[in-house]
Chain A
Amino acid sequence: MASRVSLKAKGKRKAGKGSKPAAPEDGSAGGLAKEWSTWAMKKAKVLAHYGFIPLVILVGMNSEPKPQLYQLLSPV
């Protein structure tokens, strides 16, 4: 019993470092969906955090009339 518990704890620690989530203990569909959705939300949050402002700049630089690249950096 004790060895099974310790193996499971080791497995969870290894999986918790940002890789895909492991299956829950009883393998239920609801628990699996919840773990995957939590993982997806975490990835979406990081994506939005780093990618939103570059997205706005990309959309803005491609709008008409197209601004030049130097205008992005110069204060004039």
Chain B
Amino acid sequence: MGSSASLAAAPPPPVAPPPALPAGLAQVLPQKAEEKGNGKGAPEKVDWLDLPCPVPYEELQREALMSLKPELFEGLRFDFMKMLNQRFALSHSVFMGSMEVPSQSSDIIKVPSSHYEFGANFLDPKLMLIGRVLTDGRMNARVKCDLTDNLALKIHAQLTNEPHFSQGMFQFDYKGKDYRSQFQIGNNAFYGANYIQSVSPHLSFGGEIFWIGHQRKSGIGFAARYNTDKMVVTAQVASTGIVGLSYVQKISEKVSLASDFMYNQMSRDVSSTFGYDYILRQCRLRGKIDTNGVVGALLEERLNMGVTLLLSAEVDHVKKDYKFGFGLTVGE
């Protein structure tokens, strides 16, 4: 695709000259020179053989997703997490509210539903097991195992009692010195692979391919990410006709702003989202506004040690859909 070629010619990597201090000053203030060299002030010489490891391919847009796609919900949510020791925890979660049923027409159909979810988490540096089971029998399982220092195996499964609705995915991740690669096998004969490589201390490029056996469909995509301490820019293009760009700017330690642009060539759908993320001492407030006429916000306020209040609101002016939710999280 033409656009992927233009992305590959994206900003050239920065090359910085080594810092030069007059000899007298260097002798008088040796420590200050060292600090300046390591800090953000003076530019450093780039070691092209020692580039940092890039973020995993699926977390390319992680900063943008954290700000722009908070977990908005409608209804009541109560979560209780009980730690039995520092690695093992049990969680109980109650939800009462309306779930949206996808419908063919433009009407919104909401079905009131409630469920209780029991979960068990075991988190070890080398092994992570997370299991969640709902009252209607649906089970969600995640396993992450570090087979060696560089190779990790991840399993994600969603099992239901209804036949043919279960899904499972195996992922093998290999982390190299300045690259990461991943191979995925999923049910319905889904095979995928992706690879991301650092080309400079701030810039990394990646690509992915996938193949769906049952529908005989395959796809290829490319991605690029440029990040500094203050901002992250990502771009993704896929052969399914989707172009996505995102830009996150960190204004200060507490505030960051994000924006996202998505264009779908098959359905001629364009949408853009702008959002903010305030991380304050006692609360975290995230809000977003969309070109589809959706405004949403999520507030997580720490009331006391271990008790967090959640307030969620999502207003869709175009479809006249108003969703408000409140909840409480007890435990870490």
The answer to whether B90 touches A52 (Cβ under 8 A) is no
The answer to whether B88 touches A67 (Cβ under 8 A) is yes
The answer to whether A53 touches B133 (Cβ under 8 A) is yes
The answer to whether B141 touches A52 (Cβ under 8 A) is yes
Residue of B nearest to A62 (CB): B88
Question: Complex: how many Å from CA A65 to CA B130?
Answer: 19
B115-129 CB mask vs A (1 if < 8 Å, else 0) is: 000101110100001
Residues of B within 8 A of A49 (CB): 139, 159, 161
Give the residue among A49, A52, A57, A66 with the most B Cβ atoms within 10 A. A52
User: Do A63 and B159 form a contact, CB below 8 Å, given A55-B129, A71-B84, A72-B90?
Assistant: no
**Which residues of B150-181 are within 8 A (CB) of A?**
157, 159, 161, 166
Residues of A within 8 A of B118 (CB): 53
Report if A45 contacts B (CB, 8 A).
Answer: yes
Give the Cβ gap from A14 to chain B, nearest Cβ, in Å.
20
Partner of B120, one of A60, A66, A75: A60
The answer to whether A60 touches B139 (Cβ under 8 A) is no
Give the residue among B90, B141, B166 with the most A Cβ atoms within 10 A. B90
Residue of B nearest to A53 (CB): B131
Bin chain B's interface residue count.
Answer: 20 to 34
Interface residues of A (CB under 8 A from B): 45, 48-49, 52-53, 55-57, 59-61, 63-67, 71-72, 75
Report if B87 contacts A (CB, 8 A).
Answer: yes
B78-89 CB mask vs A (1 if < 8 Å, else 0) is: 001010110110
Give the Cβ gap from A52 to chain B, nearest Cβ, in Å.
5
The answer to whether A48 touches B157 (Cβ under 8 A) is yes
The answer to whether A56 touches B129 (Cβ under 8 A) is yes
The answer to whether A57 touches B120 (Cβ under 8 A) is yes
**Which residues of B66-94 are within 8 A (CB) of A?**
80, 82, 84-85, 87-88, 90
Residues of B within 8 A of A45 (CB): 159, 166
Give the Cβ gap from B66 to chain A, nearest Cβ, in Å.
27
The answer to whether A48 touches B88 (Cβ under 8 A) is no
The answer to whether B84 touches A53 (Cβ under 8 A) is no
CB<8 Å pairs between A and B, sample of 22: A48-B141, A48-B159, A49-B139, A49-B159, A52-B129, A52-B131, A52-B139, A52-B141, A56-B121, A56-B129, A57-B120, A59-B88, A59-B122, A59-B129, A60-B84, A60-B87, A60-B122, A61-B84, A67-B85, A72-B90, A75-B80, A75-B82
Question: Complex: how many Å from CA A64 to CA B131?
Answer: 20
The answer to whether B157 touches A56 (Cβ under 8 A) is no
Question: Complex: how many Å from CA A64 to CA B166?
Answer: 34
Question: Complex: how many Å from CA A60 to CA B84?
Answer: 9
The answer to whether B139 touches A53 (Cβ under 8 A) is yes
Question: Complex: how many Å from CA A61 to CA B90?
Answer: 11
The answer to whether A63 touches B122 (Cβ under 8 A) is yes
B289-308 CB mask vs A (1 if < 8 Å, else 0) is: 00000000000000000000
Give the Cβ gap from A21 to chain B, nearest Cβ, in Å.
16
Give the Cβ gap from A6 to chain B, nearest Cβ, in Å.
27
B262-288 CB mask vs A (1 if < 8 Å, else 0) is: 000000000000000000000000000
Q: Which are the 8 A-B pairs with shortest beta-carbon distances? A: A60-B88, A67-B84, A56-B120, A53-B131, A49-B159, A56-B129, A60-B122, A52-B141
The answer to whether A56 touches B122 (Cβ under 8 A) is yes
Question: Complex: how many Å from CA A52 to CA B166?
Answer: 15
Residue of A nearest to B82 (CB): A75
Residues of B within 8 A of A52 (CB): 129, 131, 139, 141
Residue of B nearest to A50 (CB): B139
Give the Cβ gap from B174 to chain A, nearest Cβ, in Å.
25
